């Protein structure tokens, strides 16, 4: 794993930290590849239920590393997109913990996570239009699906930032913290990690994918995700634990 991305695991939660604070955690090729590798680790580790993506030094991610860009680097991973994440998602839940700025590609990384927790001083934006560019790593596609359409249009056309408080009002982020976002993200992750891993993956899958389903196919499509959950050992364990008034012991099968 690159030193530009740090990984820690504890209590069923993996924390992936973009570790380029001197560059405001701007994304370069090696960091993107390291995030992609961390996501593979998240998927493979049966002791980890939830991932958190955050940034070191008080900034989430300021976007693409322009110095790397000028050297011919691309902070994209094949089939996974910007930062190894914008065109792909792991099956397990992933939380963005945002301090400082989540701008341009950094905003698009946050958009690619399932949940967002932010410090109350955090700022979000896709300012590409101010530089004659467009937020092509998912911002233009995902933003109008995650906040009101006209607000997304305004952010894309003006390039202006919004505060964490405004983002929360719009339903774009889950929680605002007056302390480090990572602390609040870990609290949220702990609640998620206490639940059945198969149920988590199926629930995420349906919510993330169902926007493409027609009314005629949505029940059939949903069944493909949830049917294995109901016949799993974990389903029986969850019911037994409830009846016996004890904490369930998940096996992920």
Which among 126, 166, 170 has a CA at the least distance from the CA of 148? Answer: 170
Catalytic residue, chosen from 43, 73, 78, 128, is 128
Which strands sit side by side in the sheet containing 101-103, from one edge to the other?
101-103, 123-125, 161-163
Q: Is 108 a catalytic residue?
A: yes
CB of 189 closer than 8 Å to CB of 52: yes
Q: Is 187 a catalytic residue?
A: no
CB of 130 closer than 8 Å to CB of 103: no
Supply 206's token pair.
Answer: 């349906």
Catalytic residue, chosen from 4, 8, 108, 217, is 108
By annotation, the residues acting in catalysis are 108, 128
């Amino acid at each position: 794993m690159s030193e530009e991305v740090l990984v820690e695991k504890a209590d069923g939660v993996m924390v992936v930290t973009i570790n380029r604070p001197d560059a405001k955690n701007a994304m370069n090729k090696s960091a993107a590849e390291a995030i992609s590798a961390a996501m593979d680790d998240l998927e493979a580790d049966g002791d980890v239920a939830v991932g958190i993506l955050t940034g070191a030094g008080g900034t989430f991610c300021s976007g693409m590393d322009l110095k790397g860009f000028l050297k011919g680097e691309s902070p994209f991973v094949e089939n996974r997109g910007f930062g190894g994440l914008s065109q792909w998602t792991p099956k397990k839940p992933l939380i963005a913990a945002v301090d400082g700025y989540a701008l341009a590609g950094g905003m698009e990384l946050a958009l690619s996570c399932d949940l967002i927790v932010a410090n109350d001083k955090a700022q979000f934006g896709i300012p590409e239009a101010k530089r004659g560019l467009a937020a092509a790593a998912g911002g233009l596609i995902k933003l109008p699906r995650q906040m009101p359409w006209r607000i997304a249009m305004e952010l894309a056309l003006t390039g202006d930032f919004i505060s964490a408080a405004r983002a929360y009002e719009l339903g774009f982020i889950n929680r605002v913290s007056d302390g480090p976002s990572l602390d609040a993200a870990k609290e949220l992750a702990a609640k998620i990690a206490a639940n059945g891993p198969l149920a988590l993956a199926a629930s995420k899958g349906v919510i993330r994918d169902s926007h493409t389903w027609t009314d005629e196919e949505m029940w059939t499509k949903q069944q493909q995700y949830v049917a294995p959950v109901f016949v799993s050992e974990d389903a029986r364990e969850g019911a037994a634990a409830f009846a016996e008034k004890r904490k369930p012991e998940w096996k992920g099968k």
